[in-house]
């Protein structure tokens, strides 16, 4: 055991009891709370300063003023136009709901037995249920060749009374009491379902703000933007993906390989929340730098520690569909996940916003409209060529 300058206690070596096979958790051996841990000579954060975080309360709360909305959407659009990424707060999500969902994610990936996770295997792992390590390859989304993703995933979607014929709609699968402790299984399902509902409402407000911002750009056709008029009652294909990263083989050596290779997201927008795990970092491509030196062309995407906040901060990034709807006004930026030297697993909640399968897209530079389902199929097929 050793300690960091801020007072955090760290474990190295075997992190399971030898005979009982129970995990030893670093968070349970700490003497100082997270708020008490600090190092006075630590460099200030530059990626999470208050100036860079956009307050979305004008769109996410019932009481609002038009001038506040204009200020909010202008700030959001400027950030998204520049980087394809933005940090937001004021979404109406509670710290408790976020903590519960992250705790449930940690329980599922780092405490539960593998048989619990494999009880959630589904026929279509790209849309529902558990996806093990090294079973997916996001590099293929941009037509590249790279090692499979070193991350475990669990996906849930909207709860529909009727599932149509579209492959974008699938029933959810959950760990059962047969494989997992009843209390843990119940907490996991409720926490994730509650977060799905909350983040869905927040995402609708974010898309609403983006649509209103784009409608003020003269070069864009208002008709093209109508598909973004999302409502809570409209069937959509948004997927919440739980992601679990832990220290592994790709953390070794001088030339550390990506845990998830550079890629873009396919849908409308992605909203992301992650904990303070220190074994991985999200990075986005710096569009302002030359691609001739890729090792210098990536910027870490960090979030303030959730335990220090009264209002969660989330990452928003643009997907390929919205980038095409906007005629490239909003870039769908390459991003990746890289290993860090820490030992604490990182847990993430990524909400990939989609549209109804039959939603009609009027896209610039296209002669005829097409459905969202047709567009997705074409987009993925192009990447495989």
CB atoms within 10 A of CB 334: 19
d(CA 77, CA 173): 36
Burial of 26 (0-12, 13-18, 19+ CB in 10 A): middle
Which single residue is written with the structure tokens 């959630």?
A: 120
Which single residue is written with the structure tokens 């990263």?
A: 245
- The whole-number pLDDT of residue 34 equals 67
Q: Which residues pair with 9 in a beta bridge?
A: 3
8: three-class secondary structure by DSSP: coil
User: Residues 73-79: contacts with CB within 8 Å, 24+ apart?
Assistant: 73/209, 73/210, 73/212, 73/213, 74/213, 76/206, 76/209, 76/210, 76/213, 76/316, 77/210, 77/213, 77/214, 77/330, 79/52, 79/54
Burial of 173 (0-12, 13-18, 19+ CB in 10 A): middle
Q: To the nearest 10°, report the CA torsion of 105, 108, 109, 110.
A: 100
CA 108 to mean position of chain CA atoms? 17
Which single residue is written with the structure tokens 């909350």?
A: 198
- The whole-number pLDDT of residue 158 equals 82
For residue 171, give Cα distances in angstroms to 192, 203, 234. Answer: 15, 21, 17
CB atoms within 10 A of CB 295: 5
For residue 290, give Cα distances in angstroms to 76, 285, 286, 296. Answer: 25, 10, 8, 9
Burial of 30 (0-12, 13-18, 19+ CB in 10 A): middle
Residues 116 and 129: beta-carbon distance below 8 Å: no
CA-angle at 319, arms to 318 and 320, nearest 5°? 130
pLDDT in tens, the chain (385 residues): 878 777 888 877 777 777 776 778 777 888 887 667 766 555 433 343 344 899 999 999 866 678 899 999 999 999 999 989 999 999 999 999 999 999 999 999 999 999 999 999 887 777 889 999 988 887 777 777 778 889 999 999 986 544 555 666 778 999 988 889 999 999 999 999 999 999 999 999 999 999 999 998 888 888 888 888 866 445 678 999 999 999 876 666 555 688 999 999 999 999 999 999 999 999 999 864 434 445 558 899 999 999 888 999 999 999 999 999 999 999 998 999 999 989 999 999 999 999 988 888 988 878 889 999 999 999 888 876 6
């Amino acid at each position: 055991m050793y300690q960091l300058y801020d007072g955090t206690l760290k474990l190295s070596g075997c992190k399971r009891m030898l005979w009982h096979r129970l995990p030893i958790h670093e968070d349970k051996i700490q003497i100082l709370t997270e708020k008490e841990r600090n190092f006075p000579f630590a460099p200030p954060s530059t990626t999470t300063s208050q100036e860079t975080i956009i307050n979305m309360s004008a769109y996410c709360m019932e009481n609002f003023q038009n001038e506040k909305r204009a200020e909010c959407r202008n700030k959001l659009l400027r950030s998204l136009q520049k980087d394809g990424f933005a940090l937001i707060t004021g979404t109406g999500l509670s710290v408790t709901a976020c903590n519960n969902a992250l705790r449930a994610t940690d329980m599922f990936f780092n405490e539960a037995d593998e048989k619990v996770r494999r009880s959630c295997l589904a026929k279509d792992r790209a849309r529902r249920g558990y996806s093990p390590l090294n079973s997916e390859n996001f590099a293929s989304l941009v037509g590249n060749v790279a090692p499979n993703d070193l991350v475990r995933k669990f996906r849930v979607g909207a709860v529909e009374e009727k599932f149509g014929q579209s492959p974008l709609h699938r029933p959810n699968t959950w760990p059962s009491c047969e494989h997992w402790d009843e209390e843990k299984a119940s907490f996991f399902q409720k926490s994730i379902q509650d977060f799905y509902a909350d983040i869905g409402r927040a995402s609708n407000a974010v898309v609403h703000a983006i649509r209103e911002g784009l409608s003020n750009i003269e070069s864009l056709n208002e008709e093209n933007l109508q598909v973004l008029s999302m409502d809570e009652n409209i069937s959509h294909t948004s997927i919440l993906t739980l992601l679990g990263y832990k220290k592994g083989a790709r953390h070794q050596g001088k030339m550390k390989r990506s845990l998830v290779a550079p890629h873009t997201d396919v849908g409308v927008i992605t909203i992301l929340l992650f904990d303070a795990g220190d074994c991985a970092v999200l990075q986005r491509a710096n569009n302002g730098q030359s691609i001739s030196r890729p090792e210098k062309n990536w910027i870490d995407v960090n979030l303030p520690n959730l335990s220090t906040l009264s209002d969660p901060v989330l990452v928003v990034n643009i997907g390929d569909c919205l980038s095409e709807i906007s005629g490239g006004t909003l870039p769908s930026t390459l991003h990746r996940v890289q290993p860090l030297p820490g030992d604490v697993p990182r847990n993430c909640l990524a909400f990939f916003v989609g549209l109804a399968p039959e939603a009609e897209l009027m896209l610039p530079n296209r002669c005829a409209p097409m459905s969202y389902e047709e567009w997705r199929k074409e987009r993925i097929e192009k990447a495989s060529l």
